[in-house]
């Protein structure tokens, strides 16, 4: 089985030693990825975009891989600034302030008029807006509560492509067919697990993420649109590496590291659910190319049904299903 130009439309590569240690885990098997900008400090200028991309390219070596860069959203960006950086970025990423890792400089409140100058400029320049859609309410309700903000933004800026990142709820799935300009990414871990897998027995820190995994009915809704290759959804791993000591601690960092095994798990999932390979190809590449208007580098990944023993760690980062066997391997 082969996949052509697989894309990861939501990826954390971090920086420094972590970037050097894990970047190839994605570059070896994906043709490209949307790179998250929530570094410390966040990527918010043209110079920072160019410098970060250069560090990524150095870290991946000779691999064929296109990092699609993003800016950390700020309401102060004007059309002149966005025009000057347009050719270097693929999207802007909006974080509600303090809602997830390194998001302290995000948006506080969602006053449409305060955001209008930047979002209208993005609309005119055809720059998509990627959104981490959670409020600061009760943890299981945060994404559903954010639906009203998505509705407000989609209505106020009908020409703006809005990507609901790593959706986890049926309520988010339902929005896809209600607003023409709303799209979504879905992770492999949210297609496989529910909150019960994380905390139903002994706590599994390496499955803890934000947005937190939800109920079986929510997972079923995600599966329905992913397996059918709904044209408005695409794969985004939200693969989020943290050092082992940061995950296995009383202040467990949020994030699931799936980059090295994402394609294998997706292939197994689609096969187990009797979904056609064409749908998997659309979910991991075709839909994203149409939504973002990108042409990724040519790359073919061959998957074979041969058990793969997931390593206990990748340079100190523990992956999902560490030390377990999964059904598919990538042919080297």
Task: Work out whether the CA dihedral 64, 319, 188, 151 comes out positive or negative.
Answer: negative
Q: Looking at residue 109, what is its pLDDT?
A: 78
CB 320 within 8 A of CB 258: yes
Domain 2-330 has CATH 3.20.20.140: yes
User: Does residue 211 have a cis bond before it (omega within 30 degrees)?
Assistant: yes
As separate numbers, helices (DSSP H) first and strands (DSSP E) second, the chain gives 13, 14
**Read out DSSP for 199-245?**
HSSS--GGG--SSPP--HHHHHHHHHHHHTT-TTEEE---B----HH
pTM of the model: 0.96
CA distances 47 to 11, 51, 74, 93, 147, Å, are 21, 6, 16, 17, 34
CA distances 185 to 113, 190, 210, Å, are 27, 11, 14
CB 205 within 8 A of CB 247: yes
pLDDT in tens, 97-110: 877 766 677 677 78
Q: Looking at residue 97, what is its pLDDT?
A: 81
**Residues with Cβ < 8 Å from 265, sequence gap 6 or more?**
188, 192, 258, 320, 321, 326, 328
Q: Which of 220, 238, 313, 323 is catalytic?
A: 238
Q: Looking at residue 103, what is its pLDDT?
A: 67
Q: How far apart are CA 190 and CA 151, in angstroms?
A: 23
Domain boundaries, given as residue ranges, for the chain = 2-330
CB 12 within 8 A of CB 241: yes
Strand 32-35 and strand 66-68: pairing?
A: parallel
Task: Work out whether the CA dihedral 53, 55, 58, 64 comes out positive or negative.
Answer: negative
Orientation of helix 16-27 relative to helix 46-60, angle to 10°? 60
Q: Is 323 a catalytic residue?
A: no
Q: Looking at residue 100, what is its pLDDT?
A: 72
Query: Going residue by residue through the chain (332 aa), what tens digit of pLDDT does each one get?
Result: 899 999 999 999 999 999 999 999 999 999 999 999 999 999 999 999 999 999 999 999 999 999 999 999 999 999 999 999 999 999 999 998 877 766 677 677 788 899 999 999 999 999 999 999 999 999 999 999 999 999 999 999 999 999 999 999 999 999 999 999 999 999 999 999 999 999 999 999 999 999 999 999 999 999 999 999 999 999 999 999 999 999 999 999 999 999 999 999 999 999 999 999 999 999 999 999 999 999 999 999 999 999 999 999 999 999 999 999 999 999 98
């Amino acid at each position: 089985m082969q996949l052509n130009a697989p894309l990861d439309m939501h990826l954390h590569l971090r920086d420094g030693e972590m970037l050097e240690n894990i970047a190839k885990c994605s570059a070896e098997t994906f043709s490209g990825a949307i790179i998250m900008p929530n570094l410390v400090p966040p990527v918010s200028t043209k110079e920072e975009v160019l410098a970060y991309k250069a560090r990524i390219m150095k870290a991946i070596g000779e691999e064929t891989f296109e990092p699609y860069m993003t800016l950390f959203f700020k309401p102060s960006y004007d059309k002149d600034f966005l025009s000057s950086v347009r050719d270097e970025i693929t999207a802007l990423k909006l974080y509600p302030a303090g809602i997830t890792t390194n998001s302290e400089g995000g948006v506080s409140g969602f006053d449409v008029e305060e955001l209008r100058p930047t979002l209208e400029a993005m609309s005119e320049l055809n720059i998509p807006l990627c959104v981490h859609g959670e409020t600061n309410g009760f943890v299981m309700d945060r994404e559903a509560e954010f639906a009203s903000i998505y509705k407000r933004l989609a209505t106020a800026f009908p020409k703006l492509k809005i990507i609901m990142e790593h959706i986890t709820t049926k309520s988010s799935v339902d929005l896809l067919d209600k607003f023409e300009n709303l799209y979504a990414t879905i992770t492999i871990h949210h297609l496989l697990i529910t909150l019960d897998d994380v905390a139903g027995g002994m706590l599994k820190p390496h499955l803890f993420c934000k947005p937190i995994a939800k109920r079986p009915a929510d997972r079923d809704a995600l599966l329905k649109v992913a397996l059918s290759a709904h044209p408005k959804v695409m794969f985004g791993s939200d693969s989020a590496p943290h050092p082992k000591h940061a995950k296995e601690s009383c202040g467990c960092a949020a994030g699931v590291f799936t980059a090295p095994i994402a394609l294998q798990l997706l292939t197994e999932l689609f096969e187990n659910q009797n979904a056609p390979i064409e749908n998997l190809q659309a979910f991991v590449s075709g839909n994203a190319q149409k939504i973002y208007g990108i042409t990724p580098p040519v790359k073919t990944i061959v998957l074979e049904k041969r058990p793969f023993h997931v390593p206990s760690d990748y340079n100190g980062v523990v992956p999902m299903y560490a030390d377990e066997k999964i059904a598919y391997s990538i042919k080297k």
